[in-house]
Amino acid sequence: MIWINPLKTIHGLFLFCSNITEVKFLNFDTSLINNITGVFQHCTSLTSVDVSNLNIKNVSYIHFMFDNCSSIKYIDLSNFDTSSTTEMNRMFQNCTSLTSINLSHFDTSKVGYMNHLFYNCKNLEYINLFNFTDNKKPTTQDMFTGIKKNAVICIDKNKAPSIYNLADNMPCVAISCRPDWKNVQYKLSETGDCIINCSSTINRYEYQGKCYDNCPDDTILYKNKCYLNHELCDSNCKTCYIEDNIPSSNCSSCHENKYLKNGNCVDNCENEYYYHNINDNVFYVL
């Protein structure tokens, strides 16, 4: 094969080269390249790739780049200048041996398509997207679908709110940019179900299997979890003071036709007591 410098495209260069195990780009002028779509697509035996000399400053299309590279375990893209990139659909789709990926330096300010970016990367447990932005409101269909259940994604809510929300809605996926991300992961029960552990993230609170920055309306914070009132209080109480054990029977107000007496709800005011209608504001003591 004769390659003429400077290269103008490497689109599909190694497409379906299923026996290749290692690729290195050395001493090639790639400054004029604008398309690297599917360059390693379906290289199912590829375990190592060196793209440190690959200049993609003018590249618009990088989708399908590593699609179905099912044997690759690590990819270093720290040299990639993605400031001109507009499409990155399915870039890592079906990279089933990939365990972590750091794209924190990626400039996505012009990217409009991120569909299936990490689709079916079933062993991917850490994704760093800290500098991702969604200024172009990119499509993100199935962007994280199929990643490891207890994966951790590092993403800035202010820079990329739509991608952040997409990740936040993934079952069992934690959002954290802590360096000790392995200690942030949610744990799985023996049945494979999620056991949410929001206490491992900073100022995040669990409610109904998800983590929140603040407890949703009509819920109460207790020991790093958000509860509906009836989950905290004995059924005899309308509201209650929170004790060490829940449900608490120390009532702070009562249901209709019940009367509060010394922390209990009673049917009638007993002798030597009279009914007094006080303000029904509730104060919870934690």
**Residue 2 pLDDT > 50, yes or no?**
no
Q: What is the mean pLDDT of the chain?
A: 85
Angle (nearest 5°) at CA 232 between 226 and 238:
120
Which two structure tokens, joined as six digits, stand for 216? 């949703």
The answer as to whether 220 is a domain residue is no
- Are 4 and 131 within one domain? yes
> Is 252 within a domain?
yes
Residues 129 and 236 in one domain: no
In a domain, 168, yes or no: no
Verify that 134 and 253 share a domain, yes or no: no
Q: Are residues 130 and 251 in the same domain?
A: no
Indicate whether 23 and 125 sit together in one domain. Answer: yes
Q: Is the pLDDT of residue 280 over 80?
A: no
Q: Is residue 176 part of a domain?
A: no
Last residue of a domain, one of 116, 150, 184: 150
Asked whether residue 5 falls in the same domain as residue 132, the answer is yes
Residue 203 maps to a domain: no
pTM above 0.95, yes or no: no
- Domain edge (last residue) among 126, 150, 174: 150
Residue 268: which domain range?
A: 226-286
CA distance 280 to 45: 69
Q: Which position has the higher pLDDT, 281 or 161?
A: 161
Domain end position, chosen among 112, 133, 150: 150
Within a domain: residue 232? yes
Beta strands in the chain (DSSP E): 22-24, 48-50, 100-102, 126-128, 152-154, 174-175, 187-188, 194-195, 205-207, 210-212, 219-222, 225-228, 237-240, 251-254, 259-261, 264-266
Residues contacting residue 251 through CB under 8 Å, at least 6 positions apart = 233, 234, 236, 237, 238, 239, 240, 241, 260, 263, 264, 265
What are the pLDDT digits (tens) for 186-209?
Answer: 777 766 677 766 665 556 788 876
- Same domain membership, residue 27 and residue 124: yes
Domain count, the chain: 2
pLDDT band of residue 67 (cuts 50, 70, 90) is very high
Residues 107 and 18 in one domain: yes
pLDDT tens digits for range 100-137: 999 999 999 999 999 999 999 999 999 999 999 998 89
In a domain, residue 63? The reply is: yes
Top-confidence range, 55-59, 218-222, 252-256: 55-59
pLDDT score recorded for residue 202: 58
31 falls within a domain:
yes
Please check whether residues 232 and 93 belong to one and the same domain.
Answer: no
